[in-house]
Amino acid sequence: MFNAIVINKDEQGYRAGLTAVDEQQLPAGDVTVKVLASTLNYKDALAISGKSPVVRTFPMVPGIDLVGEVLHSDSVRFQSGDKVLLNGFGVGENHWGGLAEKARLNSAWLLPLPAAFTPEQAMAIGTAGYTAMLSILALQKHGITAEHGEILVTGANGGVGSYAVRLLSKLGYTVVACTGRPNESDYLKQLGAAEILPREQLSAAGKPLQKERWAGVIDCVGSHTLANACASTRYGGAVAACGLAQGMDFPVTVAPFILRGVTLYGIDSVMRPLADRSKAWQHLSELLQPADVDQIASVISLEQVVATATRLLQGDIRGRVIVKI
C-alpha cells in the first residue's frame, strides 16, 4: 500500500483526497518508481478542483511532474536506483501521476535527473521552468537578442512567469513583468524585472494595433492580454504563448501579423519530444543556481496538496510549489 492524492467521479460526485492505494492498482508501464518529489501546478489544481475537464479517466492520481528513484525497470534505458525526471506526456490527466508515493510509467516519457539538481530543486523548476525555457528558446530561435529591446512577461507571479523573468534576466534581457499583484513587485524585481506593469493595462479589450514596444513576449495568460501583447509587439518581433490563466479565447485581428510581421509561437510542453526536453533541461542546468530555485519555490507535504490547490486557483500562491514525498 502507498499514499496518493486520488480523484474520483461517480454517483457521489467529483472529489479528491489523500487515499491509501494498493500497488496492484498502478497502471501499466515498464518502469516503477518511488516518487521523491512532485509539484502542484495550475493544471493539477484544476484537476483536483474539477473546475476544468483536465482528467480524462477515473480514478486518477494527479501530478504532471515528478522525480523518482527506479524500483523496477523492464527498459534498457534505466536500472534500479536511477533517478528519473518526468514532465507532462498526459501523466496526471489520463495516466496516474506524481502526487503519490509510487508511480508506474512508460520509460519513453522519462529523462535522467540532471546532475546539477536535487529532486526537490528539479521539481521547484518542473514544468513551469521547463516551459519558460522552451519559450525563451523560441524567441532566441527567432533571432531576438538582448539588444533588440524589452521582453514582456505576462502572468509574471506564476510559476512559468517567475522563471521566465529570472531566466531572461540571467541572459541579459530587459524584462517588463506584467502582474495583477502589485504587492509582489519587490519579488519580481528581485527576480530581475526592470519594470512592473499592472495587469489592467493589458487585460481589457484594446485596439487592433497599438504603439510598438516589445521585442518579444512570453505570455502565460491568453485572452485579451495575449491580443494586446501581439498588438504592441514591434515589427518583426515574436510572441511565445504558453498559458491561459485569463482564458482560452484570443480576440485579436490579423493586423499585427500581416502589417508588422509579428510571429506567434505556440509552446506545448506536454508532448514535446525528448530531444527538445533534454535541450531545455541542459540550458536550465547551466543557468540556474540553487539560490534561484529557492527564491521561486515553497515546500508542502502530500497531506497539504488539496487545500493548497484551492489557494493556487484563488491566486494566493506565488512561484512554485514543491510537494516533498
Summarised one tens digit per residue, pLDDT across range 259-268 is 999 999 999 9
In sign, the C-alpha dihedral spanning 110, 111, 115, 116 is negative
Instruction: Provide mean pLDDT across the span 200-219.
Output: 97
Instruction: Provide mean pLDDT across the span 7-23.
Output: 95
Instruction: Provide mean pLDDT across the span 109-116.
Output: 97
Q: Are 286 and 310 in contact (CB under 8 A)?
A: no
pLDDT at res. 102:
98
- For the chain, what are the domain ranges? 2-113+290-324, 128-266
Nearest-angstrom CA–CA distance, 41 and 97: 12
The H-or-E segment that residue 322 falls in is: strand 320-324
Instruction: Provide mean pLDDT across the span 39-60.
Output: 93
- Per-residue cell: 124: 521547484
Instruction: Provide mean pLDDT across the span 302-317.
Output: 92
Look at residues 180, 196, 191 and name the one whose alpha carbon lies nearest to residue 319.
Answer: 191
pLDDT at res. 71:
98
pLDDT at res. 186:
95
pLDDT at res. 36:
98
Residue 159: count of CB within 10 angstroms of its CB: 30
Nearest-angstrom CA–CA distance, 141 and 135: 10
Q: Is the pLDDT of residue 14 over 90?
A: yes
pLDDT at res. 178:
98
pLDDT at res. 53:
87
**How far is the CA of 185 from the CAs of 181, 189, 192, 242, in angstroms?**
8, 6, 11, 22
With a pLDDT cut of 90, the percent of the chain lying above it is 91
**How far is the CA of 263 from the CAs of 163, 169, 228, 309, in angstroms?**
22, 22, 14, 34
Give residue 122's identity as a one-letter amino acid code: A
pLDDT at res. 187:
93
Least trusted range by pLDDT, from 47-51, 103-107, 252-256: 47-51
Q: Are 193 and 150 in contact (CB under 8 A)?
A: no
Nearest-angstrom CA–CA distance, 114 and 133: 15
List helix spans (H) across 77-142: 119-141
pLDDT, averaged across the chain: 96
pLDDT at res. 56:
82
Q: Is the pLDDT of residue 271 over 90?
A: yes
Would you tell me which CATH number, out of the four given (3.90.180.10, 1.10.150.120, 1.10.3720.10, 3.40.50.720), belongs to the domain 2-113+290-324? 3.90.180.10
Give residue 50's identity as a one-letter amino acid code: G
pLDDT at res. 324:
95
Nearest-angstrom CA–CA distance, 317 and 240: 24
The H-or-E segment that residue 186 falls in is: helix 185-191
Q: Are 229 and 239 in contact (CB under 8 A)?
A: yes
**Confidence category of residue 192, pLDDT binned at 50, 70, 90:** very high
Query: ∠ CA 153-52-242 to the nearest 5 degrees?
Result: 25
Task: List, in sequence order, every residue forming a beta bridge with 321; answer none if it has no partner.
Answer: 298
Nearest-angstrom CA–CA distance, 186 and 56: 40
CA dihedral 171, 176, 177, 180 (to 10 degrees): 180
Summarised one tens digit per residue, pLDDT across range 136-183 is 999 999 999 999 999 999 999 988 999 999 999 999 999 999 999 888
Q: Is the pLDDT of residue 291 over 90?
A: no
Q: Is the pLDDT of residue 193 over 90?
A: yes
pLDDT at res. 294:
84
Nearest-angstrom CA–CA distance, 4 and 10: 19
Instruction: Provide mean pLDDT across the span 46-58.
Output: 91
Q: Is the pLDDT of residue 219 over 90?
A: yes
Nearest-angstrom CA–CA distance, 307 and 321: 12
pTM of the model: 0.93
Q: Is the pLDDT of residue 281 over 90?
A: yes
Look at residues 211, 245, 18, 234 and name the one whose alpha carbon lies nearest to residue 226.
Answer: 245
Question: Omega of the bond prior to 256 within 30 degrees of 0, cis?
Answer: no
**Confidence category of residue 316, pLDDT binned at 50, 70, 90:** confident
Least trusted range by pLDDT, from 127-136, 149-158, 281-290, 313-322: 313-322
DSSP for residue 109: G
- Per-residue cell: 184: 509582489
**Confidence category of residue 52, pLDDT binned at 50, 70, 90:** confident
pLDDT at res. 142:
98
Would you tell me which CATH number, out of the four given (3.40.630.10, 3.40.50.720, 3.40.605.10, 3.40.190.10), belongs to the domain 128-266? 3.40.50.720
List helix spans (H) across 6-118: 42-49
